[in-house]
Chain A
């Protein structure tokens, strides 16, 4: 059953009605119009829908909105407010990472989480940290390069 929600997304409180079981992904995309977060698989296998929930990179496609009501949520649209996120966004442009680009917002949220936890990750740490994300275009080498580049500048 739908009920009223007040969710904090990218630092702003926003009110709407939704079924508490509705995945955060669809709340963001269809209810709030924040389409930067992408639908890829619906079962937490590809990482395209990743958003930051209280500092953790979460798969919004399997996260019922009712479970994150009191959380602080950050999506790609608000990532620039995070210093590591902003550094990564610059590195993403600098390394010309994206091809079709569809998976990249999830990648950027995850990479931000990684740099927050490990400011200077080793290559195996980068690979392990990004292992939950699929890029069918095969941008992995440039993703590694961009994370290294952002890491070197922080």
Chain B
């Protein structure tokens, strides 16, 4: 199935990745029939994360879902570094969720979470191999070194790990092992091509949608346009008349057509011609939703942060305020939502790309009346997730279709299903206000946000302190020092499904904050970079929830790097018929990754915006895979450009008005700028970088457009008249 071995989906696949594990991280002998990897697996399979083979290769498990962020490369690199094995000898497998392995994948947390445990796993195995060699050579372990999959003694004797496996497996597990100093890393911090690069290029990589099982059926579902709708009628006979349709079944989320191919299922689904009574959402449109947010903003919400002296004498201070609007947006990962489920007596098997494999396991177990150990979740490659696949709706729905099907069932969402039943990035209104002193410095800063809560995580509970803690993102955790700082938050129960989206609430908060700061600089004649440098405390703490991190200097450093590379302060290249300018923005992602971005954009006479170049400097702590880090930043910038220029879901009668890529535009090659990424070398722990590049990219483009036209950008996606007169 993976790694190009082309194994069929069968019971062997289930057991192959049932890695042996004991709570004490003890080495466990692999029992016959439980061979975790393949027949040649040696007896040395220390802990859940790695297994040595007699041929000199070592299999390392990636314990997170691979969805493009590169965890099948970066996480095994951490193990391989401490093991001192050549990267070319490493075989990567994706783990299986179990009581021991939590595969929850989100929040840019994978590398940060794996940083210590995975290195300990590698170092523990290495220490046991060294101990085995020391015993054989009759020397102290401290006299031995390891390198390239072998133990070396001072005389130059080289014992390959393969010759030590049986001995090592008999040794006690050391309670404490020393980790390599970061300065001694030879693999971590280098640029490594993705573990699956060749399989992808040759079309062998297996995604959730590629699952194939003997006798498998295919399903498509028609779902209520909005939760308030009730079914008026369907033409079940017409669906059953489609050649190849096997069944029409009611499931909690709608009506499923089960057929002999995806195409037949989709045709059968369309033939159902379902009609709905939508009186309950007849007036639920974008206008009504904006009014809900406007009303919430007018209500004042709740003060979540009040520091300094809010009543500072305002005499002589200049008051500035502005309101920013952030639209609903869709995920539209390239792989539509899909899951394959096979329900048999006493067991359920699932094949899917999911960011919550463990919850899939327990939630299906509960529905099926089984123990979680009877539910086998195979986490396949995921064609993008971006937060959407935290939700289990599409997998639980597939389970409901499959539970009485008597065969494995693959449920596939069409792109129209994906757009219509997304859990959208919610719209938000940000109101910012400041009082500026005679030197141009904002001394009072207020950021109020009204937004819809994320229904993906349950109903809005105003008594839950997590709703308020640290909100609004980017408005509470401002990386600037103000004499007085107030944050307000007004959450509203979402009238349509909403959910986590790449960098969650940061894009709107940072777009508003960084745009407002730019407007202040513009109004006072200050340089936007210089103003930021004046406001970032040095040293200072930029944090949210987490403990203090001395990182004001880190943010200033990335700002300097990005500005210098982008030619900040010099005139951008003139472009005939277009007004060209640069914009700058920065953000601290949860106090960890520091990102600064400069965009060079132009506006034509027709108002059209083109982004020509984006320079981004990032300090995400220790770099694990430099190629992967750069890729995440490049991708985050392109994601941010789509948000700045195109992304927008609007609603009518409770439904999205956009249906597919024809009406939901995203950045393509033709509007993708030159991108320059400057990764900062750091010895701080790795913070993760999957999301941090998104928010400042949006704001940098908005600020470039403001600088080009003189007109502030107060709403996304950016729309300019093209004729705005510079103020």
A binding-site residues for B, Cβ under 8 Å: 1-2, 19, 22-23, 26, 29-31, 33-43, 45-46, 48, 75-77, 79-80, 88-90, 92-94, 96-105, 108, 126-128, 130-131, 133-144
Are B415 and A141 touching (Cβ within 8 A)? no
With most chain B CB atoms within 10 A of its CB, the pick from A1, A94, A105, A137 is A137
Shortest beta-carbon distance from B248 to chain A in Å: 19
Q: Judge if B457 is at the interface, Cβ distance under 8 Å.
A: no
Are A100 and B68 touching (Cβ within 8 A)? yes
* CB-defined contacts of B668 to chain A, threshold 8 Å: 130-131, 133-134, 140
A38 to B67 alpha-carbon distance, docked (Å):
16
**Contact digits for B449-474, partner A, Cβ 8 Å, 1 yes 0 no:** 00000000000000000000000000
Are A138 and B637 touching (Cβ within 8 A)? yes
Are B334 and A31 touching (Cβ within 8 A)? no
Given contacts A101-B383, A128-B670, contact A93 B635 (CB under 8 A): no
Shortest beta-carbon distance from B259 to chain A in Å: 10
Q: How many residue-residue contacts, CB under 8 A, span A and B? A: 186
Question: Which chain B residue has the least Cβ–Cβ distance from A101?
Answer: B200
Closest 5 pairs between A and B when the two form their complex, measured CB to CB: A138-B638, A36-B203, A102-B383, A100-B68, A76-B203
| 6 A-B pairs in the complex with CB atoms less than 8 angstroms apart | A33-B212, A35-B209, A36-B203, A39-B209, A40-B334, A138-B638
Given contacts A127-B670, A135-B334, contact A140 B638 (CB under 8 A): yes
Question: Which chain B residue has the least Cβ–Cβ distance from A78?
Answer: B203
A128 to B671 alpha-carbon distance, docked (Å):
10
A75 to B627 alpha-carbon distance, docked (Å):
28
Q: Judge if B14 is at the interface, Cβ distance under 8 Å.
A: no
**Contact digits for B192-211, partner A, Cβ 8 Å, 1 yes 0 no:** 01101110111111110110
A134 to B73 alpha-carbon distance, docked (Å):
24
Are B210 and A35 touching (Cβ within 8 A)? yes
Question: Which chain B residue has the least Cβ–Cβ distance from A94?
Answer: B193
Shortest beta-carbon distance from B496 to chain A in Å: 21
* CB-defined contacts of B386 to chain A, threshold 8 Å: 136
A63 to B440 alpha-carbon distance, docked (Å):
62
Question: Which chain A residue has the least Cβ–Cβ distance from B332?
Answer: A136
| Contact of A38 (CB < 8 Å), options: B68, B383, B667 | B383
Q: Judge if B39 is at the interface, Cβ distance under 8 Å.
A: no
* CB-defined contacts of A134 to chain B, threshold 8 Å: 334, 661, 666, 668
Are B243 and A100 touching (Cβ within 8 A)? no
With most chain A CB atoms within 10 A of its CB, the pick from B67, B202, B206, B672 is B202
| Contact of B261 (CB < 8 Å), options: A22, A88, A108, A135 | A22
* CB-defined contacts of A100 to chain B, threshold 8 Å: 67-68, 333-335, 381-385
* CB-defined contacts of A94 to chain B, threshold 8 Å: 193
Residues of B105-155 whose CB lies within 8 A of A: none
| Contact of A92 (CB < 8 Å), options: B200, B638, B662 | B200
Question: Which chain B residue has the least Cβ–Cβ distance from A109?
Answer: B203
* CB-defined contacts of A80 to chain B, threshold 8 Å: 202
| Contact of A46 (CB < 8 Å), options: B197, B416, B661 | B661
Question: Which chain B residue has the least Cβ–Cβ distance from A105?
Answer: B203
Q: Judge if B185 is at the interface, Cβ distance under 8 Å.
A: no
Are A142 and B243 touching (Cβ within 8 A)? no
Given contacts A33-B212, A102-B335, contact A41 B196 (CB under 8 A): no
* CB-defined contacts of B666 to chain A, threshold 8 Å: 134, 136
| Contact of A30 (CB < 8 Å), options: B207, B218, B627 | B218
* CB-defined contacts of A23 to chain B, threshold 8 Å: 263
* CB-defined contacts of A40 to chain B, threshold 8 Å: 334-336, 415, 661
Shortest beta-carbon distance from A75 to chain B in Å: 7
A93 to B661 alpha-carbon distance, docked (Å):
28
A34 to B202 alpha-carbon distance, docked (Å):
12
Shortest beta-carbon distance from A16 to chain B in Å: 11
* CB-defined contacts of A19 to chain B, threshold 8 Å: 243-244
Are A93 and B193 touching (Cβ within 8 A)? yes
B binding-site residues for A, Cβ under 8 Å: 67-70, 191, 193-194, 196-198, 200-207, 209-210, 212, 218, 243-244, 261-263, 266, 332-336, 381-386, 412, 414-416, 627, 631-632, 634-639, 660-662, 666-670, 672, 674-675
Shortest beta-carbon distance from B316 to chain A in Å: 47
A14 to B416 alpha-carbon distance, docked (Å):
32
With most chain B CB atoms within 10 A of its CB, the pick from A94, A101, A143 is A101
Known: A26-B262, A76-B203, A138-B637. 17 other contacts (CB 8 A): A19-B243, A35-B212, A38-B209, A41-B660, A42-B416, A43-B415, A88-B201, A90-B201, A92-B200, A96-B194, A96-B197, A102-B383, A126-B669, A131-B669, A135-B334, A138-B638, A140-B672
Are A41 and B194 touching (Cβ within 8 A)? no
Are B669 and A99 touching (Cβ within 8 A)? no
Question: Which chain B residue has the least Cβ–Cβ distance from A141?
Answer: B675
Are B672 and A138 touching (Cβ within 8 A)? yes
Are A42 and B414 touching (Cβ within 8 A)? yes
A93 to B191 alpha-carbon distance, docked (Å):
13
* CB-defined contacts of B332 to chain A, threshold 8 Å: 136
* CB-defined contacts of B675 to chain A, threshold 8 Å: 141
* CB-defined contacts of B672 to chain A, threshold 8 Å: 127, 138, 140-141
Are A102 and B262 touching (Cβ within 8 A)? no
Are B661 and A41 touching (Cβ within 8 A)? yes
Are B336 and A39 touching (Cβ within 8 A)? yes
Given contacts A38-B383, A101-B196, contact A136 B202 (CB under 8 A): no
Question: Which chain A residue has the least Cβ–Cβ distance from B381?
Answer: A101
* CB-defined contacts of B210 to chain A, threshold 8 Å: 29, 35
A42 to B267 alpha-carbon distance, docked (Å):
12
A136 to B201 alpha-carbon distance, docked (Å):
17
With most chain A CB atoms within 10 A of its CB, the pick from B266, B333, B661, B666 is B661
A105 to B381 alpha-carbon distance, docked (Å):
15
* CB-defined contacts of B244 to chain A, threshold 8 Å: 2, 19
With most chain A CB atoms within 10 A of its CB, the pick from B67, B197, B662 is B197
Are B204 and A36 touching (Cβ within 8 A)? yes
* CB-defined contacts of B191 to chain A, threshold 8 Å: 96
Shortest beta-carbon distance from B700 to chain A in Å: 15
With most chain A CB atoms within 10 A of its CB, the pick from B263, B627, B631 is B263
Shortest beta-carbon distance from B345 to chain A in Å: 27
| Contact of B197 (CB < 8 Å), options: A36, A93, A143 | A93
Are B201 and A108 touching (Cβ within 8 A)? yes
A2 to B395 alpha-carbon distance, docked (Å):
31
Are A45 and B202 touching (Cβ within 8 A)? no
Are B204 and A30 touching (Cβ within 8 A)? no
Are B202 and A29 touching (Cβ within 8 A)? no
* CB-defined contacts of B631 to chain A, threshold 8 Å: 96, 99, 137, 139, 142
Given contacts A100-B67, A140-B638, contact A39 B412 (CB under 8 A): yes
A100 to B384 alpha-carbon distance, docked (Å):
5
* CB-defined contacts of A75 to chain B, threshold 8 Å: 203
* CB-defined contacts of B243 to chain A, threshold 8 Å: 1-2, 19
